[in-house]
Amino acid sequence: MKIEINNGRLIDPRDGIDKKTSLFIAAGKVAAIGSAPPTWHANRVIDAAGMVVCPGLIDISARLREPGFEYKATLESELQAAIAGGVTSLACPPDTDPPLDEPGLVEMLKHRARSLNLAHVYPIGALTAGLKGETITEMGELTDAGCIAFSHADAPLADTQVLLRAMQYAATFGYRVWLRPQDAHLSRGGVAHDGEVGMRLGLPAIPACAETIALGTIFALARVTGSAVHLARLSTHEGVACVRDAKRAGLAVTCDVAINHLHLCDADIGWFDAHCRLVPPLRGVPDRNALRAGLADGTIDVLCSDHTPVDDDGKQLPFAEAEPGATGLELLLPLTLKWAREDRVPLASALARVTADPARVLGVDAGHLAVGAPADICIFDPDQRWAVLPGALKSQGKNTPFLGLELQGKVRYTLVGGQIVHEG
């Protein structure tokens, strides 16, 4: 299959390309940029006039709910959502049921994903057996099965000795460790930011120091062990400052923020809107502003959707009892564009946070369009507006704080491995 994409604005953030030009795809790879290769004859020509052609998005946190939560979502429904959102690669956290702590589970997941032939799936293995925080997993076997990193998802890991040993072990073999910085004790029972909104609504609070204390612990352990650490879901301005200082001091850490925390704050909970029941909790306006600035200046490396499909039953409950999470795969692109527009971030820089930068964090050859690169491509209309309504979403999870709002930026074509897997 040879595909020719003409008249689009080609943006490859990694290689600094941002111009109107043609892209030629053959044998699943980028064959040429600008002028056609010799003896070129396209099977399919896409007219991308008025559209942006960029590397397929890479979402480093998308829960696919398999195995164990198939009633909430299936691999197929969520991978359809991924390609509809222009996401061609995603990493899935290990908090399935059972958790991804056995090679067989990971192999099954990889096999199922491959047979669907939609987006690439990179499982993140559980750091401890059953995510119980007691014994470390067979990281070597899990890596051979396809895990690209190890994390504890949102499960508490209170025992610092276990964390130290898990990081020591991972560092021995060069495995990446992803950690969500939240002190298990200080966050116990909390569902909202420790601020005016949570106080007025009478919601148990999680103080900002739950994040900074955990960051301090993780940084100390990273220095001792030499482990490569990725920090998942920063939420506070104090946390952003800690990461900025650690990076300046030369510590090799990367970190991410989720789309909801980039755009929303605790005031959006309104009158107990369970769509805003998220982990970590939505924090104050200064926190949100610091997260946006941190993402723009590179303190925060990656923007992710933290896609978590939750059914209506999980949300039709009093706020604290509601299941945390929101659907996000199909909102990652428009919410990246919204941030770029609002904060005057150049489009190529903004797209880097969902393409080249997550590829670097995952350590995979993706997120760029150099000749010979895998032809995972997103073609989107940056101006098209669409309403976030249940019927517009492929994901089985329809719940998001953005439900009912109009967003700008719609994916028109998604290519994975040189095949058109989505046309919208």
Partner 1 sequence: MLSKGPNPQLNAGGELQHLLTLEGMPAAIIERILDTAVPFVSIAERDVKKVPLLRGKTVFNLFFENSTRTRTTFEIAAKRLSADVININVGVSSTSKGETLLDTIDNLVAMNADMFVVRHGQSGAPHLIAQHLSARQRSHIHVINAGDGRHAHPTQGLLDLFTIRHYKHEFSRLSVAIVGDVLHSRVARSLIHGLTTMGVPEIRAIGPHTLLPTAVEKMGVRVFHDMKTGLAGCDVIVMLRLQTERMKGSLLPSAGEFFKHYGLTADKLALAKPDAIVMHPGPMNRGVEIDSAVADGKHSVILPQVTFGIAVRMAVMSILAGG
318 binds partner 1 (CB under 8 A): yes
C-beta separation of 372 from 235 below 8 A? no
Applying the rule CB under 8 A, the residues between 351 and 390 that interact with partner 1 are none
- The catalytic position among 18, 101, 256, 306 is 306
230 SS3 class = strand
Question: Shortest approach of partner 1 to residue 226 CB, angstroms?
Answer: 36
Maximum distance among all alpha carbons in the chain? 70
**DSSP letter (8 states) at residue 35:** S
Pick 34 or 318: Cβ nearer partner 1: 318
Q: Which of 32, 116, 213, 320 binds partner 1 (CB under 8 A)?
A: 320
Q: Calculate the dihedral angle through the C-alpha atoms of 291, 296, 301, 305, rounding to the nearest 10 degrees.
A: 60
C-beta separation of 129 from 135 below 8 A? yes
Applying the rule CB under 8 A, the residues between 253 and 312 that interact with partner 1 are 263-265, 267-268, 270-272, 274
Question: Shortest approach of partner 1 to residue 357 CB, angstroms?
Answer: 26
312 SS3 class = helix
Evaluated on CA atoms 183, 185, 191, 194, the torsion sign reads negative
Pick 266 or 357: Cβ nearer partner 1: 266
Pick 205 or 421: Cβ nearer partner 1: 205
Whether 306 is catalytic is yes
Question: Shortest approach of partner 1 to residue 321 CB, angstroms?
Answer: 6
C-beta separation of 132 from 113 below 8 A? no
Find where tokens 């067989």 sit.
Answer: 104
Q: Which of 139, 179, 205, 351 binds partner 1 (CB under 8 A)?
A: 205
Applying the rule CB under 8 A, the residues between 390 and 419 that interact with partner 1 are 401-402, 405
3-class SS letters over 53-91? EEECEEECCECCCCCCCCCCCCHHHHHHHHHHCCEEEEE
Q: Which of 59, 194, 256, 301 binds partner 1 (CB under 8 A)?
A: 194
251 binds partner 1 (CB under 8 A): no
The catalytic residues are 306
Chain residues binding partner 1 by CB under 8 A are 194-196, 199-205, 207, 263-265, 267-268, 270-272, 274, 313, 316-321, 401-402, 405
